[in-house]
Structure formats: C-alpha cells, structure tokens
Chains A and B, each alone.
Chain A
Amino acid sequence: MRLSRTRRALLIVANLAAIAFLVLPLLPVVLGALQSEKAIQSDLRSLLPRQPTLANFELILSGGALRGPIFDQVSYLPKSVERFPAAFMNSVAVAASVSLLTLVFGAFSAYTVARLRLAWIRALLSLSVASRLVPLIVLMVPLYVLFRRYGLLNSLTGVVVAEIGFLLPYAVLILVPYFAALPAELEDAARIDGCTRFGAFLRIVLPLATPGLAACATIMFILSWHELLIPLIVVSRPEAMTIPVVLAGLVSDYFVFFTLMMAICLLGLLPTLLLVLLLQKYVVRGLVAGALKG
C-alpha cells in the first residue's frame, strides 16, 4: 500500500521530532565542552561557541598536567580532573570483569533454566525476576555493613562482587530466551556421539548462542560502566574510584566550571554511547529478550 502525501509528510515531521528528542539534549554537552569558561560567561545569550577550543580535553586527558593558556592562571582545579585517567582505567577493569563473570555464570544458569524442567530451577528463575525489582539502595545498606566487616570496602573487588550480585539475575533473564530457542536435538546428537552434557554445552550450545552472549556481555558492560550507587558507597579512596564516582564528585564542588564538567561528562559517556551505537543490533534484542521473555 502506498502512503498518501500528507501522511508521509506528517510521518517525516514526527520522525524529525523524535530524533530531536533523542539527541538534542546532548548538544549542550558538546557545545559546553568546546568552550572556555570565560567565553561561556561572557555572552549569556549565544548558543554556539565563539572560540572553540580543545583545552578542556587536553587538561582532563593529561590528568591536569597540560594546562595551556586557558588554565594557566587558574589556581583551583577540581580533584576530578587529576583523578580522571586512573578512574577511567578502574571503570574499564570493573566493567570488563563484571561483564565477563556475569556472562559465564549467567550462561550456566540460563542453560539449566532453558533445558531442565525442574521445580527448583523454575523457582530460581522466578526469584531472578523478582530480584530485578529489589531496589539497589536496599541492598547497599546491609552490603556496606558486611563489606566493612570483611574488608571489601575501598577495593575494586568489592565493587565487582556487589555489581555481579546485582546484575547476575538480569544476565540470566537476558540469556534464557536465546538458549530456549536452540533446538535440543543438536545436543542430543552430540551426546549420542559421545559428548558429555557439559561438552555439548561448550561445543554446541555456546557457539550457537553467540548473539545472545554478545548481547548479554554488552549490556552488562554498559550497566556496570553506568553504576554510581555501588562504587559511591563501597569506595571512598581516590585510587579505587570509577568514572561515575569521579563525576559525582563534581556535584558538591562549588568552584567547578560548567565547561570543564561537560568535557568530563562527554569523555565519560562516550565509551558506552559508542558501544550502544556499534552493537545496537545485539543490545536491542537483548533488552527486549530480558524484559519480555524471561
């Protein structure tokens, strides 16, 4: 069926509005990050930067060492600037560990849920669904007390453990539909040929479930990169801070410059934004699978 001309025009306008809704709020971040604080304060009505500069990025990426003419006279720099490079590496380490471990553990569980029709495994699945809805802050109060007792505060290990605990049920929910969609006959054939159940899982099921594994790993990496509350409460030593904690430090800093803040924000959001855009196909399917088909 062909579209009438007015309908087509309406749909195009509606699409443009949707695109504006999705990307426009990011524009101030870019525009802010490309200006000096002086420039943004000098004209309160202009939208575009008069003299674009990369000085903010140079300063942050060098951890505050490369000051350049703009920051030469500045006597105070927020701590977030010097902490940024280390925090970035911490975030990479935490997100990679969380993503890998939830993927491995999640795959084990999701496979049993998809294949074995046992009552206690069904209960495990319902429990995973229900646990998705336990507010994180509810967990953080007791975890703080427990971590304090067992010396896990102020360590990246503590952050990883808490994040795995919080995210693993979700990983299972994302993976189950992928495993359930694979025909059981393939594994049966492999087992007749002398494969163990675990061998069949490793050699037959996992390779076939690659899209699901990719989706799960990506989503877990992103959610871990985004996590603020867990590291905020577990970590207070600068060496173990992750990107969201460093960014959160800007909030209570009354001397912070908006332009510098936007530059840090841009660097902090870029990794996951790129992941989302590049691996979109997997992320979309994984999110839908995890919400509707658990």
Chain B
Amino acid sequence: MLNLPSGLCLLLILAWPVLYAGWLSLHDVSLRNLRTGELPFAGLANYARLFGDEIFWLTLRNTCVFVGISVALEVVLALAVALVIDDDRVGLSRVTRVLLLVPWGVPPVVNGLLWAFIFNTQFGYLNRALLALGAIAEPINWLGHPTRAMGAVITAYVWRTTPFNILLYHAGLRGIPRDYYEAAEVDGASAWQRFRHVTLPLLRPIIAVSLILRTTFGFMVFDEIFAITQGGPGNATWVAAWYTYRAAFQPPFNVGLGAASAWVMALVLAVAGIAYARLIGRHVT
C-alpha cells in the first residue's frame, strides 16, 4: 500500500513514457498530426532519417568528446581536492569544506549564463583578466571557434559537477582507517606509494560508481549547451540531448525523429544503467 505512489510514478511517469517514446519513434508525429490526433505508422522511417543525418553522427562524436574529457577532468580534479581537504590538521580545509557545494548550488542554466558572460569576447571577465595581466594583446573570441567553444562548455559543466564527486571521494577517504596509513608509513612507504597502494585500491568502488554516474549524466548535458553555445558555432557543440531537443521541440517539430534519437540515447545509457544497478547491489548485499 505504502508503495503505491512510487510504484505508480515509476510505471506512469517513467516506464510507460519510455515505452511510449519507442512507439512514437515508429510513427509520423508532427505538430499537425498531433493536432488531428492521428499518428500514421511510419515503420523505421524515423530511424532511417536519423542514421542518414550527418549531424546525428557529428552529435554522437561531440557527445563522446564532451563526456570523455569532462568525466576525466571531474574525476582527477575531485580526487585532488578530496585529498587536499582530507587533512584536518590544516584549519583552512574546514573553510574549503564549507564552500565545497557552492557550484552545486548554482542552477545549471545560471551556470551556463555566467560562463557565457565570462567567455564573452568584448565584455567577458576572462579576456578582461588576460588583458589586464598583459597575457594577450587582443581579446580572444572564445565561443566563436569550434574547439574553444567545446572547451568553454566543458569548463562550465565540469565546474558545476565536480563538487558532487569531491563529496563522494571525501566520504570514501573518511572510510579508510588511519591505521593503514600509519602502518604503511612505518614500513617506509612514501606519500605517493601510500596513495598508490592504500588510498587508490580502497577508493576503487567509489570511483567506479562516480564514473558510471558522471558518464550517464554527461550524456544528458543540456542547460550549459543551451545557455552558452546553443550548439554552435556551426554544429560544433551539438550533443545528444540538444539533438533530441532541436528535433522534437524546435521547428519543424518532428517529435517522431526526436523520439527515435531519444531511444538510441536511452539504449546506450541502459547498458551503463544496468552496470550501475549491479555495482550498487553488490554494495548493499
């Protein structure tokens, strides 16, 4: 009885729509058809169109670049910060810990807008700082250049999402008994060796969880793309969620095509999802 709301929610707002999206992807769903209520069967036409679309393949490539680089950055940065704040003997680490969640508290769309401002060619604070320091003579057009724009979007995204990883790793480090380090130190292990042979192996399950979570969430990135580049310049920062959004909710509103691309995306992520559920399951039992 108590599970009724959650069960209903899982079925009605999660499971059913995913299946319904599959159904939509096999039909011709345009705004006009939605208005009349008749959705003619289209077979695999949407998928044929999807796989025949050059931008779709570019989107997949962009998504892989985005996810690969941002996940690597998130993990390395988070691990570094987690190690830095782990030492209680430095009072300042308390301050760092208080400020840890600041980027997480910023709404993603605000995060996008604020980095769009930072990277703005004329008025942005990055060019201001670089000009003031004399590092550059002329303002750099960060968002007008394909590679730089991708770098800008990744920077913004990684800034917002790294704190979550720091938290996980921090919790993980707290779970490692101090004796292990002392024992290793007595045995003459250097700081690097202690990290390599004590910290890293014991942190591995948590790193695995964070890798899966961050990879799938990276695939879903939308707000920062929307606010900073809108997929531009050209198609340089088109990523998976942006493709689906553009296909289904921007002119010409081809909802069927959007559903098809959404389904391809869900399929890719389902694999990661199953791995995550297994991993968590092993943790609990």
Contacts and interface: CB of A to CB of B under 8 A. Distances in A.
Contact of A145 (B123, B255, B272, B284): B255
Contacts of A273: 102, 105-106
B265 A138 contact: yes
23 contacts: A21-B159, A22-B99, A22-B100, A25-B115, A44-B127, A44-B128, A121-B3, A137-B262, A138-B265, A140-B248, A142-B17, A168-B5, A168-B10, A226-B109, A247-B109, A247-B227, A251-B112, A251-B113, A261-B113, A262-B114, A268-B110, A269-B110, A277-B105
B58 interface: no
Nearest to A127: B10
A58 to B, nearest CB: 20
The contact size tier of chain B is 35 or more
Chain A to chain B: the 5 pairs with minimum beta-carbon distance, closest first: A165-B13, A276-B105, A105-B5, A109-B6, A108-B2
A229 interface: yes
A204 interface: no
A229 B258 CA distance: 15
Contacts of A164: 9, 13
Q: Residue among B114, B120, B270, B281 with the most chain A CB within 10 A?
A: B114
Interface residues of A, number: 99
A119 interface: no
Contacts of B103: 22, 25
B135 interface: no
B159 A25 contact: yes
A8 B78 CA distance: 20
Given A47-B132, A131-B14, A25 B114 contact: yes
A89 interface: no
Interface of B: 2-7, 9-10, 12-18, 20-21, 24, 29, 34, 77, 80-81, 84-85, 87, 89-90, 92-93, 95-96, 98-110, 112-118, 120, 122-125, 127-129, 131-132, 139, 159, 163-164, 167-168, 171, 182, 206, 209-210, 213, 216, 219-220, 222-223, 226-227, 230, 240-241, 244-245, 248-249, 255, 258-259, 262-263, 265-266, 269-270, 272-274, 276-277, 280-281, 283-284
Nearest to B14: A131
Contacts of A144: 248-249, 255
A226 B284 contact: no
Contact of B118 (A1, A14, A28, A105): A28
A64 interface: no
Given A44-B128, A165-B14, A292 B209 contact: yes
Contacts of B6: 105-106, 108-109, 124, 128, 168-169, 172
Interface in A20-60: 21-23, 25-29, 31-32, 40-41, 44-47
A273 to B, nearest CB: 4
B222 A228 contact: yes
A293 B280 CA distance: 7
A226 B101 CA distance: 14
Contact of A26 (B87, B102, B128): B102
A147 to B, nearest CB: 10
A243 B113 CA distance: 13
Interface string A83-119: 0000000000000000000001110110110000000
Contact of B167 (A131, A168, A228, A287): A287
Given A41-B123, A132-B276, A135-B216, 6 more contacts: A133-B272, A136-B220, A137-B220, A142-B17, A142-B20, A269-B106
A272 B248 contact: no
Nearest to B260: A141
A21 B81 contact: yes
Contacts of A135: 216, 219-220, 240-241, 262, 265-266, 269
A139 interface: yes
Nearest to B107: A226
Nearest to A259: B123
Contacts of B110: 244, 247, 265, 268-269
Nearest to A11: B90
A84 to B, nearest CB: 13
Contacts of A40: 123
B106 A23 contact: no
Nearest to A9: B90
B244 A44 contact: no
A111 to B, nearest CB: 7
A161 to B, nearest CB: 7
B3 A108 contact: yes
A18 B85 contact: yes
B159 A130 contact: no
Interface string A238-258: 000001100110111000001
Contacts of A127: 10, 15
Contacts of A18: 81, 84-85, 96
A22 B3 contact: no
Given A145-B255, A225-B107, A265-B113, A44 B123 contact: yes
A23 B124 CA distance: 17
